[in-house]
Amino acid sequence: MVATLQNKLDIALENVMIPLLGESAAAAGGKVEIAADSTPTLHLKLGFPVGRAAHSIASQIRSELSSVCDTDVEVELGWKVHAHSVQGKLRPIEGIKNIVAVSSAKGGVGKSTVAANLALALAAEGARVGMLDADIYGPSQPTMLGVAGEQPVSRDGKTFEPIQAHGLAMISIGCLIDTEQPTVWRGPMVTQALNQLLFQTNWPDLDYLFIDMPPGTGDIQLTLSQKVPVSGAVIVTTPQDIALLDAVRGLRMFEKVHIPVLGLIENMSSFACPGCGDVTPLFGVGGGVEVATRNDLRLLGQLPLDLRIREETDAGQPTVAADPSSPVAQSFTEVALALAAQLATRPIDYNHAFGSVKIEPV
């Protein structure tokens, strides 16, 4: 009887797909324990954080397993974030498992707002998360994360302690300069500033460090590809044609510098009228889906255009922190989990598990 049940469960594990991951329970390393006189239990450790989402994901897996093998199966989920491979011969920075670049080749698509909410969503799921605002000319993360006016402490006169914001460790040039004055710097000064912010900040141990990139494909992006060990990038766009053209250019840039693109995020996908509830695609329909399909990219999600998102980030309380149970916050969480799950399918940097050398700026 046990052998027959084991065979049925083994077949089920090959056919039941893990939500967000795109692979079977067997491929994800799931093992079923069958004890006498008890319900079989699937033990599964995922490579992305599922604190609050664990119950929902386990319920989906349990339902599928039970229907496929015609018996009740308990599901016990765990998770551990690994360090994943980076471009070229670069090595991950000590204590930082994964650096994720959030990019848009075009300004005005809501990239910084998306980056802040993605970081907060993964932190809410239990991950250790940091934020580096790499937009030297137009830093916005201090305002969005509610730490405008705060300055980082330097204990040795050489390095910075990151600022704490809603559970994130963050740093931005906007915390070091007068943001009302323009940053009139040439390219070399900008790249030097990025190096200092990244390598001279005393980051705590992090599962993910998000880098909020400036728009475009210039000096910061080139420095990122040459000196910063990036596990993956995501591209934020709106559905309109002009933004999608720039999104493709951004994709081609990452391809040239051998940084894997984890997927595309379509922001401001549609607007729901607060009065009548009618949904209007103000910037077009299906653009993100088409670009993702044409370029063999994963569409990580479609985020709404909602007045509350702007109001909350302007107030220093991004949606995921301000109202985590709201439908809009849930949309950000779903995208963040899809991003983390996509990264979890990338090759693991096994050398990092045995220690790494901290990279210092040249």
Give CA–CA dist 208/206, Å, rounded. 5
Q: What's residue 283's pLDDT?
A: 64
Q: Which parts of the chain register pLDDT below 70?
A: 1-3, 36, 178-187, 272-273, 275-286, 351-362
Model's pTM, two decimal places?
0.90
Among 168, 101, 124, 85, which residue's Cα sits nearest to residue 346? 85
pLDDT digits (tens, 9 = 90+) for 23-64: 888 888 888 888 767 788 899 999 999 999 999 999 989 888
Using alpha carbons only, give the angle 300, 119, 280 rounded to the nearest 5 degrees: 45
Q: Which structural domains are found in the chain, ordered by start? A: 2-79 (3.30.300), 96-353 (3.40.50.300)
Q: What's residue 108's pLDDT?
A: 82
Chain Cα centroid distance, residue 222: 21
246 within 8 A of 276, measured Cβ to Cβ? no
Q: What's residue 362's pLDDT?
A: 37
Query: Residue 298 CB: number of other CB atoms within 10 A?
Result: 17
H helices present in 16-103, as ranges: 54-69
The position carrying tokens 């990092």 is 352
